[in-house]
Amino acid sequence: MIIVFKPNISRKDETAVLKEIKRLGYRPHIMRGVARTVVGAIGDELTHQSLENLLTLFPQAVESVMPVQKRFKLVSREAHPANSTIEVRGHLIGGRRIQIMAGPCSVESETQLLATAEAVRAAGAAILRGGAFKPRTSPYEFQGLGHRGLKLLAKARKETGLAIITELLSEDHAELVAEYTDIIQIGTRNAQNFQLLIAAAKTGKPVLLKRGLSMRIEEWLLAGEYVLANGNPNLMFCERGIRTFETYTRNTLDLAAIPIVKQESHCPIVIDPSQGSGRADLVTAMCKGAVAMGADALLIEVHPNPAEALSDGAQQISLDAFARLMTDLKPFLEAAGRA
């Protein structure tokens, strides 16, 4: 920790602050600068108490307190210098192949799901997405088929060989969802629902953690830390757009998250261009950017008839559009040295 003193601090205050630093287990190291005196408090920030309280205890003396260590450990590159990979039914996420996870926003019916599953498999997807339990802004909106939706996903897996990813909304469903799915998705609204993260981690299934609507990357990595710290190494991060003032798009897809997560962490990074823009007509451009910038997987909303979708119709693309997209992405996959 670095503590910056206010100018003209009294000798008495200085002594008191230094005493408090020692009491909290740090060794203070004073540097008298030209305009400010600065104290380096030497000690492990992750095991000692934060010194931010000095601001409250000595408001007349302390101007700022700055941590110098990063707060995440297990998700960090320092802890695991090589890229982590996650195997899901024979498909490797985080390897040379960019994996495509595609399917409807919500599972609505057997016909809808099977038609989508077959079409996305034929076009090159390895993983089927589909919401069975849906978090909806309003209680009056379609909340998903629940258990029946999970069964339909399992059926689609059996018929197509696709692996399954679906969202977990409630700790109480953790076992049930884990029984059916291959990857557990934690949605943006639950990105800091730590109890849910722990419950997901404990199922042992790979976890895809979406970035919260207004989550700093550091907070996202720390939320991921909850998964690894609870004994589950199979974590992937999914950027899906952050909330800004812009209104043309539903969210602002922060593609810089790809190289940053790659730099800070060993976990795979997935991009969701559908939520990330909220507009079907932008999905192709977003996917091209994501592939070029190093994404390990894409999570794409596809529906046999987007105009009839029970949720988020404006951002789902049709089966034909998905097939075209897969073709359009090929040259960019090659340019990126991916398959």
Q: What is the dihedral of CA 101, 106, 111, 117, to 10 degrees?
A: 0
- Residue among 31 and 122 whose Cβ is closer to its own copies: 31
CB of 78 to its own copies, least distance (A): 6
CB of 104 to its own copies, least distance (A): 13
- Residue among 162 and 286 whose Cβ is closer to its own copies: 286
With CA atoms as reference, report the closest residue to 240 among 295, 166, 193. Answer: 295
Where helices occur in the chain by DSSP H, the ranges are 11-23, 54-57, 110-123, 147-160, 174-180, 194-202, 217-229, 257-264, 273-277, 283-293, 319-335
What is the C-alpha to C-alpha distance for residues 65 and 60, in angstroms, rounded to an integer? Answer: 14
- Residue among 38 and 92 whose Cβ is closer to its own copies: 38
CB of 64 to its own copies, least distance (A): 8
192, 219 contact by CB (below 8 A): yes
Tokens of 65: 């307190």
CB of 113 to its own copies, least distance (A): 18
- Residue among 148 and 216 whose Cβ is closer to its own copies: 216
CB of 86 to its own copies, least distance (A): 21
Query: What DSSP letter does each residue of 40-56 carry, written as one string?
Result: EEES-TTTSPPSTTHHH
- Residue among 29 and 148 whose Cβ is closer to its own copies: 29
- Residue among 114 and 314 whose Cβ is closer to its own copies: 314
- Residue among 133 and 205 whose Cβ is closer to its own copies: 133
DSSP H or E segment with residue 164: strand 163-167
186, 168 contact by CB (below 8 A): yes
CB of 161 to its own copies, least distance (A): 29
CB of 272 to its own copies, least distance (A): 13
164, 71 contact by CB (below 8 A): no
